[in-house]
Amino acid sequence: MNKKYRIMIVEDHTLLREGLSTMIASDPQIEIVGGADNGLDAVRQAVALKPDLILMDINMPVMNGTEALIDIKKRDPSIKIMMLTAHKAEEYIRDCLQSGADGYVLKHSTRDELMSAIHIVLNGRTYLSQEVSEQIVSGYKGTANPRAQSTWQSLSTREREVLKLVAEGNTNKMISSLICVSIKTVEKHRSNLMKKLNMHNSAALTAFAIEKGLLAKD
């Protein structure tokens, strides 16, 4: 029997949480293993249940979703966390991505988009709703971060190539095979990119790659 992905849903509105659980559990590859209505309980359950993925809202009582995201990632970085929220303002998106979110989906997304996003994140890639990507791109252009702009000019052809491959969701092993270098070399390029661009995860790199035209927005 194939292993099922274990998912936890963190949402303070009971009807929405139960509705999401029913909808997502209809996928034969997925098992709902827990649910919480506040960030603190989310952290406790994440530690106890060790799910493959947590879907989490931002606005919640006791501890908000961003705080819970940071806490969970510190305790177990292997747990993937996708924010499922109504917030599409740039500050919310950036806070979550900088805090380690593996995806960011808006609540008005369709069922098909949500299920697709879940599987993309479970398979190690980053997922951002199109509106979210556009918001981040708009933010980059609006703020015109001097450091990011000047650093972009200094990136080598190989670094830009690695950035594009990371943004496409390739693992270090896959990138190693594609550009014929060792995994350690890929890890070094990736680390250098994050330091140069002052970014801390693949989601932020993906958004930057979109802004630079390296990756289609779909």
Give the domain extent around 56.
5-136
Residue 148 sits in a domain whose CATH number is 1.10.10.10
115 in the same domain as 10: yes
Please tell me the predicted confidence (pLDDT) of residue 189: 86
11 and 119 both lie in a single domain: yes
Shared domain for 49 and 129, answered yes or no, is yes
Q: Is the dihedral of CA 167, 188, 138, 99 positive or negative?
A: positive
List C-alpha distances in Å: 107 to 44, 87, 187, 206: 25, 9, 34, 21
Q: Do 34 and 58 share a domain, yes or no?
A: yes
In a domain, 217, yes or no: no
**Beta-carbon neighbour count of residue 188 at 10 Å?**
13
Q: Of 110, 136, 162, which closes a domain?
A: 136
Which of 76-85, 88-97, 160-169, 199-208 has the least mean pLDDT? 199-208
Count structural domains, the chain: 2
Kindly report, residue by residue over 168-201, the tens digit of the pLDDT.
778 888 898 888 888 888 888 888 888 887 777 7
Q: What is the CATH number of the domain that holds 74?
A: 3.40.50.2300
Cα end-to-end span (Å), the chain: 35
- Residue range 138-163: average pLDDT? 65
Angle at 151 between CA 149 and CA 157, to 5 degrees: 110
| Residue 47, phi-psi category: left (phi > 0), alpha (psi -120 to 50), beta (remainder) | alpha
Are 108 and 30 in the same domain?
yes
SS3 state at 128: strand
Domain match, 110 and 189 both: no
- Per-residue confidence band for 139, with pLDDT thresholds at 50, 70 and 90: low
pLDDT at 157 over 60: yes
Residues in CB range of 21: below 8 A, 6 or more apart? 9, 32, 35
Query: Given a cut of 70, is residue 128 above it in pLDDT?
Result: yes
Greatest pairwise CA separation for the chain in angstroms: 53
Identify the band that residue 150 occupies on the pLDDT scale cut at 50, 70 and 90. Answer: low
The domain boundary, picked from 136, 162, 177, lies at: 136
Decide if pLDDT at 147 tops 70. Answer: no
The reply to whether 173 falls in a domain is: yes
Could you report the per-residue pLDDT of 39-76, keeping only the tens digit for each? 999 999 999 999 999 999 998 888 898 899 999 999 99
Q: How far is CA 27 from CA 8, 126, 160, 200, in A?
A: 14, 20, 37, 32
